[in-house]
Amino acid sequence: MYHNLSKPFLSPSTYIKIIPLSEGTMELGSCIARVIHRDDTFTNIIIRPTCLIACEEYEPNESDDDDDSIDAEENSINRNIYDLNMQTSGSRDWFCNLVYMFARLTNLIQLTFDGLDPEDEELESFWGKISGSTSLTSLYFTNMILERGCEEMMCTASAPNLTSITFQGCTILNEIGCFLQESLTLLREGREELCILTTLCFIECRFSKTNTIREIIAFATELAHLTSITSFWFTSCILDTVQSMCLVRCLQEERIDVQIHCNT
């Protein structure tokens, strides 16, 4: 159903097509060296569990050894390579250094996390520091169980030029709105620019703790507090008719300035 909150409640109408990965998306496992050397041709990167295995098995090549230097300028490519080579590949500290290189890919506009474990300790530092990217405009979370340990992962939402976040095929806890709000609050602290995250999409998702009307209201209320969002999408999610209507009506009561697209 499509619901424009400036108009009366409408009947089911628009079918929403599932958004595919953009053409030209590269898997991290096949382009680690290029990321390390800040290849600015990247626009879309996807990270899967197989990519993490590739990171563990990564060995610096000769060009890495030639380029690394402790005497290089801070935050330069050579200094970053040196810091990376000092760590065990695939370790927490290694990813902590790799994420700085991600954040400096000037044309990276879309990042997809597919099937990752939110509680993976090696990625703890990665989530918060990827938000340093000023080029990212879209984040995708696909095929993930986001019921536990996703609070740190949601720190990615504080990337300053992010406009949309999509969850596809995920199991999501009903406090997701609260975690996103915390990230956006961090974004606004000490900055003059406004948050430009405007679109939040849920495709084929299941929501935990939404079996009762009270739980649905709590879930919707937290989402409504994301005041920069102007468009919510719920496509083919695991919600029955009563749950869908309750969700939409609650969002409608909390916010009169957004559009809600619901086809469950």
- Domain residues of the chain, as ranges? 1-17+116-264, 19-108
- What ranges in 47-120 are assigned the alpha helix state H? 49-56, 62-67, 77-85, 92-103
Edge-first strand listing for the sheet containing 199-203: 2-4, 259-263, 231-235, 199-203, 164-168, 138-142, 110-114, 44-47, 26-27
Give residue 15's identity as a one-letter amino acid code. Y
CA distances in angstroms from 23 to 20, 43, 87, 110, 209, listed in the order given: 9, 10, 33, 11, 36
Over the chain (264 residues), the average pLDDT of each successive run of 10 is 34 38 81 89 94 91 52 63 86 90 91 94 88 93 92 90 96 93 72 76 94 93 93 94 92 88 84
SS3 call for 241: helix
Q: If you search the block for the tokens 């919707």, which residue do you land on?
A: 220
Give residue 101's identity as a one-letter amino acid code. M
pLDDT value at position 73? 54
Q: How far apart are CA 28 and CA 123, in angstroms?
A: 14
pLDDT value at position 82? 81
User: How far does Cα 208 stand from its chain's mean position?
Assistant: 19
Quickly name the fold that domain 1-17+116-264 has.
3.80.10
